[in-house]
Structure 1
Amino acid sequence: MSEISVKEYVKRQEELEDEANKLMPYDPSHCTYSMGPIRQPIFACRTCNSIGVCYSCSIQCHSTCDLVELFDKRNFSCDCGTERQFEHGEKFTPCNIRKNTTPDIPDMSNRYGQNFKGLFCSCHREYDPNTTTTMLQCVLGLECNEDWFHDHCILGIEENPDPVTEDRKLPGFPELSSFEGFISWVCIDKYSSIFEKLLSHEACDKIIAHKVYRRDLVSDQNSEGMTLESTKKRGLEEMENSSGSYSLFLKEGYREEFKRLRDSLPEGDSLKSFFMHTAPFLTCEEKVYEPPEEQEQGSLVEMGETALAQNLSHQQTLASLVAFQQIKSKLTDFLRPFAENDKVVSESDIKQFFDTQKK
C-alpha cells in the first residue's frame, strides 16, 4: 500500500471520524463523584441496580451494561462504585476511574424515579427513538423529578395508533417556537396555590406563553379518553372544561422575569419564598457540568505524519495506518445495517462495537 492510497482512504473516512466525535465529544476520564451534587448529564444503568452514573463512568465502567440516557439531572452525584450499586449483595467492583477499594458512600440527596428504570411521562413508557412525538422536560421538576412528557400526554389525549409524520400537529398544542420552558401539570398540581397566585399577578403576561389544560384520562373513569380525531371534533374549549389540571409554557427569557417578580414582592410573600427557597433555579440560568472536551487528535494522515516526524520508520507508520484502516472498515460494516434500515444509532451501540474489538 502506498502513502498516496492511504491518504485517499483517510479522506473517505473523515466524515465517519467527524460523526464519531459528535457522538462522543468529551474526554471520559473524569468521574464527578468527588464534585458532589451538581446538574450534569446522567445515564441510568439498569444492569447495576438502576443507579445513575456520570458521562465518563457510562463509558469507562458501564459500556457493556443496559444504559438509558437521561440528559441533565439537578443536584445529582455519580453513584458508580457506591454502596447503592451493591446494596443487594452484589459482588463489589470499583469505579474504573476512581479506583476505590471499597464501596463509596452514596449521596443521600440523589432522587431516584421511574426515569432510572427507563420509563418516562405519565404513561410510564420507554423512550421510542423512532417516533416523531415531541417530548418536553419539566423545568421545575420538584414533583416529577424533571421527567419528560409526550405532547399527547400533556394534552391528556390518546396517541394516534397510526404512523405519524414529521408534520404531525396536535390541536391545542403550542408551536415549539412560541415558548422556551415547560412546567408539567404534575408539578403544578403539587404547588397549585403558588401557581394560581402567579397566574393572578400582573407580571404573568410577561412570563406565561400558554396555559394548556389536559383531559385526565386516569381520573375520568367514565370516559374512553380523547383520541386525536375526537380532539379535532370537540375543540379546545371543551377540553379546557374537562379537567382542572394544566401545564404552563413559559416565554423566552422567563428566568429573568421570574427574578424581577421575586425582587418586587414583599418579604413573607409565599410566592417570593417559593422563588427564594423552593425553586431558586427558576430565577437564574442553571450551570450544567460538562466533561472536558476530547483533545483534538487530527486526521489519520496527520497522525501518520507526526509519527514520521518522531523518527518512526515509513514501514511502521504505514502499519499503524493499516491498523486504523481495519478498525474503520469494521466500524463501517457495523454501521451499514443501521443506515440501510434507517435505524437510529445510539451511543450504547457504538460502545458495544468498541467493547467487542477489545476481546
Structure 2
Amino acid sequence: MSDISASEYINQQNALEDEAREIMPWNPSHCTYVDGGLRQPVFACLSCGEIGVCYSCSIQCHANCELIELFTKRAFTCDCGTERQLAKPKKDNEYWCQLRKNTTQDIPSLSNSYGPNFKGYFCDCHKQYDPESDSTMIQCALGLECNEDWYHCACIVQTQNQIEEGEKPSNPTEQSLPLGFPSLESFDAFICWKCASRYKSVFRDLLAHSRSQDLIAHKIKHSSPASEKSEPNTGNSVDGLRKRKYDMENDESFSLMLLPGYKSVLLEIKAELEKTSKLYLFMDDIAPFLTEDEPVYVPPEDSDDDASTYELGTQALSSTVDRDVAAVGLRAMDGIKQKLSEFLQPFADSGQIVKEEDIRNFFKLQNKE
C-alpha cells in the first residue's frame, strides 16, 4: 500500500462501502422463517446440504458457505436453522440460526419445492451458471413442473435448431441474445415446455380461445428437430387456432411467451368461463399468480444510521468487493468506525501522511482487544 493522507484513506473506504451497499442494499436483520412461505430472494447453500436461505441468513449465517443466488422463488420458507441443515456454518457457535438464536433445529417447511437449482444446476442443459460466459437466461413464470427454473435463451432456440448462420439481431441492445431468439421487449413472461406439457389440456383450451391473439407473443416448438422459428402472434385466424389446437392434441411440446399485460387478458378470459371448466379452475386454484399481482418480499433497506466507515475490515483498500467479502464486511463491528475516526483525526488535523505501518498497527491493536 502506498502512503496516503487520512482524507484519501477515508474516501477510498467510503467508496468501498457504497459499492458493498449497491451489491447488498438491504438490512440483513430478519430471518423470514417465522413468516412462512413467501415469494422472496433465495440463496442455495451447498455447504449446508442444498438448502435455501433468505437474504438475511445468507449474510448473517452463511457468508462463508458456498452460496448460489437463485433470485425469487414462490412460496418458499427459509431453511436456515431447520432439520434440513446438515451442519452449523460455525461449529463453535451455539445457534443454528444467528438471527433466530435457536439452539435446536426447527421443523422445516413441508411445502418447499426443490429442483436442480438448489444443487447449483440450471436450464435443461443441467449446467452450473457462469455469469462471465453464459448467455442471457429467463425464468419460467409458471414453474409448477420445473420449479421456476432458469433457461439459457440459447438452449431454448438450439433445442429446435433455430439458429441461422449470419443472422443479425435487429435490436443492438440485445446483442447478448442468441440468433433466432425473440426480442425481450416483445414478451413479458415465459412458460417453459415442461410446464406447458404438464397442463396440456389447459393450454390447449387457452391457445384455442378467441382472445389468444391478445395473449400469446411467441410459441417455440421443442419436439421436432426441423421445426420452424418461434411463431409470433399474427391474428385471430381460424386456421391458426386449429393448428395450435392440433399441435397440442398431437403431443407437440413447446414453450409460450406471453404479451405484456397478459394478466388482465387472462382475468377477462376467466370472467367469461364456466366455473367448472378446466381453464377456470387452473387460473383460480392452481396458478392464481398468473392473474393476480404477486408481491415479492423485500427486506428493509439499510439506513445511513447503520453505516460503518470500516464495515469491510482488512479489505478496506481492496479495489473490488465481491458478494462474500461484502457479506463479511456488513457483519463487522460498528464500534470500529469510531475507533478508526479517533485514530485518523490527528493525521487529518495536521495533514500528516498515513503510512501502511500506521494502519497495520491499528489493526493489530484491534485484534488484541
Name the residue aligned to 2:18: 18
| Contact in 1 for aligned 2:53/2:78 (Cα 8 Å) | yes
Q: Which amino acid aligns with 1:152?
A: A
How far has the Cα of 1:32 moved from its partner? 0.4
After TM superposition, give the deviation of residue 332 of structure 1 in Å.
3.3
1:203-282 superposed matches below 5 A: 203-214=211-222, 236=229, 244-282=252-290
1:262/1:275 contact within 8 Å kept: yes
Structure possessing the higher relative contact order (Cα contacts under 8 Å, 6 or more residues apart): 2
> Are 1:131 and 2:133 an aligned pair?
yes
Q: TM-score by structure 1 length?
A: 0.74
CA distance 1:355–1:8, change in 2 (3 Å): closer
Q: Superposed, which structure 2 residues align to 1:83-232 within 5 Å?
A: 83-86=83-86, 93-131=95-133, 133-155=135-157, 156=159, 167-214=175-222
Please give the alpha-carbon distance, in whole angstroms, between the structure 2 residues aligned to 1:349 and 1:84.
26
Shift of 1:16: 3.1
For residue 241 of structure 2, what is the aligned residue in structure 1?
none
Alpha-carbon shift at residue 255 of structure 1 (Å): 1.2
**Equivalent residue number for residue 61 of structure 2:** 61
1:81: which partner in 2? 81
Identity of aligned residues (%): 46
Tell me, yes or no, if the aligned pair for 2:115 and 2:147 is still in contact at 8 Å. Answer: yes
**Greater alpha carbon shift after TM alignment, 346-355 vs 78-87:** 346-355
Instruction: Report the CA distance between 1:6 and its aligned residue.
Output: 3.9
Structure 1 position 78, deviation (Å): 0.5
Match among 326, 330, 333 for residue 350 of structure 1: 326
Q: CA separation in 2, counterparts of 1:125 and 1:13?
A: 37
SS of residue in 2 equivalent to 1:333: coil
State the 1:8 CA deviation.
Answer: 4.9
Residue 208 of structure 1 aligns with an amino acid whose one-letter code is I
The two structures, once aligned, show a CA RMSD in angstroms of 3.5
C-alpha distance in 2 between matches for 1:168 and 1:299: 37
- The residue that corresponds to 1:332 in the other structure is 317
Q: Is the Cα contact below 8 Å between 1:37 and 1:75 reproduced in 2? A: yes
- Whether the 8 Å CA contact 1:181–1:251 is kept in 2: the answer is yes
1:83 counterpart SS class: coil
Contact persistence 1:152–1:170 (CA under 8 A): yes
Tell me the secondary structure at the aligned position of residue 332 of structure 1: coil
TM-score, structure 2 length as denominator? 0.72
Deviations 1:45-83 (A, max 9, x none): 000011101000110111110001001000110111111
Measure how far apart 1:268 and its partner are: 0.7
In structure 2, the gaps of 5 or more residues are 164-171, 232-243, 333-362
> What corresponds to 2:50 in structure 1?
50
Paired letter, 1:106: P
Alpha-carbon distance between aligned partners in 2 of 1:169 and 1:39, rounded to the nearest angstrom: 28
Shift of 1:189: 1.0
Letter aligned with residue 254 of structure 2 = Y
